Structure 1
């Protein structure tokens, strides 16, 4: 099970929100789907979730990965179907909808994160798309080590492929190439990104 560390920025955000300490805390287990609810949002304090939808053919479309300090909720989208799935055990603060004005910074951050991921998904070539996605994950779920930045969230090759609109075989091949090029290290189902001492070629 992944261990997600509450980042300093997330801690500051939570502390600066009025009444946060008076709101209801909830716990969800790994793989649990948070029930649809239109009158509340949730502030993640610990853990990680992903939001997703799916096509009529049953193809999953990942819309985002969210961790400590992120605000999630079914009222943040018009998409149907829409699902919030816990990737780890998750602790949240329940935010009644009438208090949403107190969470404007978190709402803005939600939009910015979604747009950044959308930009990455449309990058070319696929090698650059994958690398920028890994960097994006490291910023949200990373912990600095002596070797580099450990992405503490475990995500399968198939899940990465679904996010980046490619195949699992392509993701596996590119990760092997990145490791050969000393850009990352795979260790116990986790990825460590080495410090950027060279840029990825875009051709």
Structure 2
């Protein structure tokens, strides 16, 4: 499904570090088409195209010859991803939630210093997040991996509430199990344990709330 996004005309102002990347895209690309992908849908990647997440979260992964899958990153709102940014082969992208994406051609990026600078800033954010994903994967205890994942999501996709940080994307127990390299049964048990410890809560719409992220 394709949207048409309306926005204000381009401006000549220089991009500052505090400029919101989504606003930058709206300024530069009036009427740009946006693309919807449903949860678990595979996103086709082309050698000279870059996707930018407008809404939702995308799982980036690779497959080993054994058939095992490794998660190599998560792309959240405003983050770019695509084949021009990786040497991994195979490299796959799946919608972890319902997502809305903007597609850019590599030539457009090369011809726009403002866009290139904005993408560079967001890639820096993704690099930090990728390091956090790698650190999470190195944890031997599944509970530690689960906590690190929830903290990472609360930082990238969190909404401050009176109780704690609400993760705005709803994930299934199976998706969390895939991200933490364990089983759905184990995740269900650990989530219940974290709720009993008052580390985590689940609201009426099944979103996770990290109750005390600073103490963690």
Higher RCO, 1 vs 2 (CA within 8 Å, ≥6 residues apart): 1
2:151 and 2:213 in contact (8 A); partners too = no
CA apart distance, 1:37: 0.7
**Matching residue within 90, 93, 96 for 1:84:** 93
1:193 and 2:202 matched: no
Where in structure 2 are there 5+ consecutive unaligned residues? Answer: 1-16, 111-115
CA apart distance, 1:11: 7.1
What is residue 37 of structure 2 aligned with on the other side?
29
**Matching residue within 13, 22, 44 for 1:14:** 22
CA apart distance, 1:23: 7.9
1:46 and 2:55 matched: yes
What is residue 181 of structure 2 aligned with on the other side?
165
Q: TM-score, normalised by structure 2?
A: 0.76
Segments of 4+ in structure 1 off by > 6 A?
A: none
1:10 and 1:68 in contact (8 A); partners too = no
Q: Report the CA distance shift for 1:150/1:49 in structure 2 as closer, same or farther (over 3 A).
A: same
Task: Summarize the alignment of residues 48-197 of structure 1 with structure 2, pairs less than 5 Å apart.
Answer: 48-98=57-107, 99=109, 101-102=116-117, 103-187=119-203, 188-196=205-213
Work out the CA distance in 2 between the residues paired with 1:197 and 1:27.
Answer: 36
Q: TM-score, normalised by structure 1?
A: 0.80
Which of structures 1 and 2 has the bigger CA Rg?
A: 2
Q: Report the CA distance shift for 1:90/1:13 in structure 2 as closer, same or farther (over 3 A).
A: same
Where in structure 1 are there 5+ consecutive unaligned residues? Answer: 1-8
Work out the CA distance in 1 between the residues paired with 2:188 and 2:103.
Answer: 38
* Matched positions, count: 191
CA apart distance, 1:180: 0.5
Q: Report the CA distance shift for 1:116/1:162 in structure 2 as closer, same or farther (over 3 A).
A: same
CA RMSD, Structure 1 to Structure 2 (Å): 2.6
CA apart distance, 1:184: 0.9
Question: Which moved further from structure 2: 156-165 or 144-153?
Answer: 156-165
